[in-house]
A = this chain, B = another copy of it.
Amino acid sequence: MAGRRNEREAMSGAGKESKAGGESRVAHELARYETLFARRTGSMKSSAMRDMMALTERDDLISLAGGLPDTRSFPQGLFADLMGAVATRAEAALQYGPTEGLAATRGCIREVMAAEGTIVDEADLIVTTGGQQVLDLVCRALIDPGDVIVTEAPTYPGALPTFTAYEARIEQVDLDGRGMPVDTLEERLDALDAQGLRPKFIYAIPSFQNPGGETMTLARRRRLVELARERELLILEDNPYGMLRYEGEALPTLHTLDAEYGSPGMVIYLGTFSKIIAPGLRLGWALAPRPVLEKLNLAKQGADLCSSPVTQMFVAELFARTSPQGGPLWLDYVARLRDLYRARRDAMLAALTEQFAGTARWTRPEGGMFVWLTLDGAVDTSDLLIRARERHGVAFVPGRAAFADGVRGARSMRLNFAGADEHDLREAVRRIGVATGEQLELLGALSGRRAPQDRGEGAQVVPLPTRETDARGRAGL
């Protein structure tokens, strides 16, 4: 590669622009690209998601960063069997498919949604290239520069770069342990209204929120839907983890509650196979009111024409299988994931209590994949991540990535408990604990004290009195 570069430079020297040569030309040409970039690229920054993705090919550290499910638990034999079944239909699998997705795959989606209590018409669905693409297509259909999107705070770190790429103005409403407080949302809507602004949609992750780990109460769900209808606002309900509940009663989706009012609805529903089957399939879906669906379909044509029939047929083959007990095999697999993740969640919560009791607060999720941890000490987790990765071989998502301003959440981190086994989870939490201690000592040394209280954030290295309520997590509040 170095040889190639030298060769190119030599050719450049012999080329027609050699007169201008040297570094000034290169600087000039780099500046030239700058003038060509779209305005939206100014707000495009490498989010925490970037590193998460980059990390997935490394195996020299324990990463709790990405929203990686456990893909080791997918039975090797079943995988080979399904791949073989897809191969028997090579002609169709290898060809383009319809933009809205294969009928068989949309049938599988109907099954997933029925298992969550929602009966849908397959014609209201579009298959997408992962759930992420739904965020993108919805923005493409709805967002002009300056349009408002309301999100929870913290919110899915991977959504923020998409929203800002469409030059949306993001308003965030703080979570309080029971999901987005709808009264606070109302106040915010009133304030926006006073400025002549009406959000294009409210982005909510009601169940086992990413990254907050908390679940919106039924009363709030009802009120949120009511509010959306009163004010004629769309809701984008992101529900990747709905089937991954480890305790407590299932709650109806916002879509289900909205449907009780009849059609046309105000909820665009985002689902995905990433967390219940596998992210490598890159298959998600949107359920949307027909006029919106039509725009999503047009947007998808321009984006990638269609999602892969190979992986769509893989899903259809899986859903056609029955378990030895006679039920759908995919439901067995999801049940197995639930058991696996429940044990991992418990292991992580135990490790956190051991490592961070009295020095941090964290959520206790009833499902999903994430714990949100906030340090009492004045450690910036973005800085901490560098130390944690480089010196201790452990990674997490720093909290700033979940806030639109990139400033808030500095003492928080998102921890994924689904992707690593219990041993690694314990070890990872231990490493984060050690890294945090080192960082606090460093801060103390820099400021001449152990606890940099001049930052006004109540940082303490010495354990605070155990705050039972906080240690149990906000979800218990």
Contacts and interface: CB of A to CB of B under 8 A. Distances in A.
A132 interface: yes
Interface in A1-31: 1, 4-5, 8-9, 11-13, 15-17, 26, 29-30
Contact of A38 (B83, B140, B297, B304): B140
Contacts of A39: 144
Interface string A47-61: 101101110110000
Contacts of A46: 298, 301
B295 A129 contact: no
A299 B165 contact: yes
A32 interface: yes
Interface in A218-274: 226, 229, 232, 234, 259-264, 274
A44 B9 CA distance: 44
B96 A66 contact: yes
B136 A304 contact: yes
A450 interface: no
Given A57-B97, A99-B50, A280-B96, A41 B298 contact: yes
A225 B248 CA distance: 64
A246 B22 CA distance: 43
Contacts of A68: 95-96
Contacts of A201: 36
A335 interface: no
Copies per assembly: 2
A375 interface: no
A262 B97 contact: no
A189 to B, nearest CB: 15
B289 A38 contact: no
Given A41-B141, A56-B96, A86-B83, A17 B280 contact: no
Contacts of A52: 96
Nearest to A40: B140
A295 B121 contact: no
A84 interface: yes
Given A38-B141, A123-B1, A140-B40, A260 B11 contact: yes
B50 A281 contact: no
Interface stretch (A306-314, A352-360, A363-371, A389-397): A306-314
A139 B226 CA distance: 38
B261 A17 contact: yes
Main secondary structure of the interface of A (DSSP, over half): helix
Contact of A311 (B33, B144, B306, B311): B311
A82 to B, nearest CB: 8
Interface string A273-307: 01001111110000001011001011101111111
A98 B306 contact: no
Given A301-B53, A303-B303, A144 B97 contact: no
A477 interface: no
Interface residues on A, range: 35 or more
Contact of A262 (B13, B102, B136): B13
Contacts of A132: 302-305
Contacts of A102: 57
A187 interface: no
B12 A263 contact: yes
A305 B49 CA distance: 8
Contacts of A30: 264, 291
Interface string A308-323: 1111001000000000
Interface string A329-370: 000000000000000000000000000000000000000000
Given A74-B91, A130-B304, 6 more contacts: A4-B119, A15-B260, A16-B226, A38-B139, A76-B88, A161-B298
Interface of A: 1, 4-5, 8-9, 11-13, 15-17, 26, 29-30, 32-34, 36-41, 44-47, 49-50, 52-54, 56-57, 66-68, 71-72, 74, 76, 79-80, 83-84, 86-88, 90-99, 102-103, 119, 121-123, 129-130, 132-133, 135-136, 139-144, 147, 158, 161-162, 165-166, 200-201, 226, 229, 232, 234, 259-264, 274, 277-282, 289, 291-292, 295, 297-299, 301-311, 314
12 contacts: A9-B262, A33-B291, A46-B298, A53-B306, A71-B90, A80-B83, A129-B304, A165-B302, A281-B310, A282-B306, A282-B307, A308-B310
